[in-house]
Amino acid sequence: MEQDRSDRLVAKGRVWYCRPGSNGAEFCQTGQKDSEPYDVTIIGAGVVGCAVAYRLSQYQVRVLLIDRNFDVGEGTSKANSAIIHTGFDATPDSLESRLVTAASRLWPQLAEKLKIPFDPISALLLALDQKQADQLGPLHQKALANGVDDVEVVDAAKARQLEPGANKNVRGGLLVHRESIIDPFTVSIAFAEVAVANGVDILFGSSVIAVEDANQTIKTIVDDNGHRIKARIIVNVAGLGSRAITQSHGGKLFDINPRRGQFLIFDKSHRGLVNRILLPVPTATTKGKLVTPTIFGNVLAGPTAEDLPPGDDTATFTTIEGLQEVHAAAARMCPTLDVLRPIATYAGLRCNCSQGSYIIRANDGHHGIVTASGIRSTGLTSSPALADYLIEQIVEHCGLSLRRDADARDSRPQSSWPGWCRRPFEDPEKIAANQDYGRMVCFCEQISQGEIIDALDSPLSPCTLDSIKRRTRVLTGRCQGFNCGVRIAEIISQHLGVPLDKITKRGPGTQWISSRLPDGVQPNGARAGGQP
């Protein structure tokens, strides 16, 4: 037990969650009062922002990470296809292609270091008619041009042998080794946890409304809680919110047309249907809808690609047309899916820029402001390489000098593996030390009370239902909270000492229950004459 505890990550940086009415008092008192301005302030704790914080935390710089949500990776980063791409089908020589290809080679080691569940299961691009089969050659050439040399064209018989569950009319395929599946939630969490362990501060629930004194060396970021945050260098990686920030300080504007992707999740009992990521042959307009196993053991199908009007960054709802379109496309690739019903659906918005992908500007409008936007669906893959690239830009153009921090860690300890992949109940010693690891709360995903409490005590001290869901997998199974929904809210409420009606799904405005019964009402169990 002693040893176990020293094996835990300890937060050196501070983490604040701003609630309405706090008016920034807590942050101003403990965070920035009388202290030096932050060297670098990163706006946006999505996967890119967290990766930048992680890489910067290896150096002796004071870094603050700000996000309007109540957890890392709450925006674009939480709803994607959870794949680490090789970049085999990117446009050769683009920045996106370079970063994706570079990052895809970093991931196997990085995932191991950061204890992110990761599996290089490879991908099979399926040609379902002759026209598509004719495209396999050119796609192979494109992969080679992108420096992805471990791709092979396979014939119909081989494709059927590799994927017995796929459409029997397959005419051939392109096998892409190294295409991998990953736990997308843990990516942002792991980056941020190491960053906080190395002294990076995080401010959640803080929506930036203006950047003042942008032309000065020390700039002021103003947020909706009334915080005035002093920063020398600002990195704007706010995803769908990045345009508003650029506009507020007078940088060169770009347009964001969110592109919605809807997904279907099928139950774990159907995991055997697909062995690897099944991709359709891309058309001129879209990469198409894939069918893939997830690292959690489900089958995932999607996404759609729906262009939404600019500024529509809350349109993360599903539509009947979108879901039916995905189901039909999935059934074309894997016919058995036709009769199955998904257990859950979700939709996410990709940060799609009309001016092109991966818009990166150092000294955007003013010295010391760096903007990165238009990071589309490849952001999850490219994040570590993109973070390095952004830091290079900052050093080169914004005059930041970096000295390594000898004490900084770049990995998470063994105890950080998510509970669902290390199954604490398998270990008799853990059960002997703490019976909570054998007290199952989530029956579908087999998650214990001990794992939920570990997640609540983890370095970012998460406090919302969704943040616990992403860390432990509770509420994500086939019953979608039928059995455990209330139990989980109770555990959070007890452990954090917060009343049940203050528990939120993902921050203020999302209180789980809207009201309690009036006081003075007898609890139901106390009904007279209840027991025979």
Partner 1 sequence: MSSVPFKEVKVAIVGAGPAGIGAAVGLAKRGVAPVLLVDRCSEGGGLPAKCHASRHGVPTFAVYTRSKVVHGRDFATRLLESLEGTSTQMSLETLVLDVDVAEKTLTLVNPARGKFSVSAEAIIFATGARESTAAERGWIVGARGAGIFNSMQLLELAGRHDALPGKNPAIVGSDLVAYSTAAKLKAAGADDVMMIDTTASPRAGRLVRLFFRRWVRPDWRGPTNLLEIKGHLRVEAISLGNGNKLPCDAVVISGQLQPNSELLVEAGLNVHPRHRTPVVGRGQKISSPGLYVAGNVLGGFHGAQWCYFSGKRAAKHVSTALLSG
Binding-site ranges for partner 1 (CB under 8 A): 264-265, 267, 269, 314, 316-320, 323, 336, 339-346, 425-428, 430-432, 435-440, 443-444, 446, 478-483, 485-487, 490, 500-501, 504-506, 509-518, 521-525, 527, 530-532
Cβ 275 to partner 1 shortest distance, Å: 18
Cβ 173 to partner 1 shortest distance, Å: 26
CB-CB contact of 334 with 167 (8 Å):
yes
Helix H, strand E, coil C: the string for 75-143 is CHHHCCCCEECCCCCCCCCCHHHHHHHHHHHHHHHHHHHHCCCEECCCEEEEECCHHHHHCHHHHHHHH
User: Which of 511, 473, 508, 470 is closest to 489 using CA atoms?
Assistant: 511
Cβ 513 to partner 1 shortest distance, Å: 5
Q: Considering beta carbons, is residue 177 or 439 the nearer one to partner 1?
A: 439
Dist. CA 307–CA 259, nearest whole Å: 4
Half-sphere exposure of 426 (CA within 13 A, CB side): 6
Q: Considering beta carbons, is residue 166 or 337 the nearer one to partner 1?
A: 337
Cβ 262 to partner 1 shortest distance, Å: 9
Cβ 380 to partner 1 shortest distance, Å: 20
Q: Which residue has the tokens 């101003």?
A: 28
Q: Considering beta carbons, is residue 81 or 262 the nearer one to partner 1?
A: 262
Cβ 370 to partner 1 shortest distance, Å: 29
Cβ 298 to partner 1 shortest distance, Å: 12
Q: Considering beta carbons, is residue 256 or 391 the nearer one to partner 1?
A: 256
Pairing of strands 15-17, 201-204: parallel
Q: Considering beta carbons, is residue 199 or 293 the nearer one to partner 1?
A: 293
Q: Which helix (H) or strand (E) holds 524?
A: none
Cβ 414 to partner 1 shortest distance, Å: 20
Cβ 112 to partner 1 shortest distance, Å: 26
Q: Which residues pair with 16 in a beta bridge?
A: 203
Cβ 425 to partner 1 shortest distance, Å: 5
Q: Considering beta carbons, is residue 1 or 517 the nearer one to partner 1?
A: 517
DSSP 179-211: -EEE-HHHHHHHHHHHHHHTT-EEEES--EEEE
Q: Considering beta carbons, is residue 10 or 517 the nearer one to partner 1?
A: 517
Dist. CA 171–CA 478, nearest whole Å: 34
Q: Which residue has the tokens 């950080």?
A: 416
Helical spans, DSSP H, in 7-94: 25-26, 47-56
User: Which of 380, 208, 240 is closest to 315 using CA atoms?
Assistant: 240
Q: How far, in Å, are 74, 168, 261, 353, 375 from residue 255 at the CA level?
A: 22, 43, 19, 6, 13
Q: Which residue has the tokens 């020589």?
A: 93
Q: Using CB atoms within 10 Å of the CB of residue 287, give its burial: 0 to 12 exposed, 13 to 18 middle, 19+ buried.
A: middle
Q: Which residue has the tokens 């209840």?
A: 530
Count of other CB atoms within 10 angstroms of residue 145: 14
Q: Which helix (H) or strand (E) holds 487?
A: helix 485-496
Q: Considering beta carbons, is residue 194 or 329 the nearer one to partner 1?
A: 329
Cβ 25 to partner 1 shortest distance, Å: 24
Q: Considering beta carbons, is residue 210 or 315 the nearer one to partner 1?
A: 315
Q: Considering beta carbons, is residue 27 or 437 the nearer one to partner 1?
A: 437
485-496 and 449-456 helices cross at what angle (nearest 10)? 50
Q: Considering beta carbons, is residue 10 or 339 the nearer one to partner 1?
A: 339
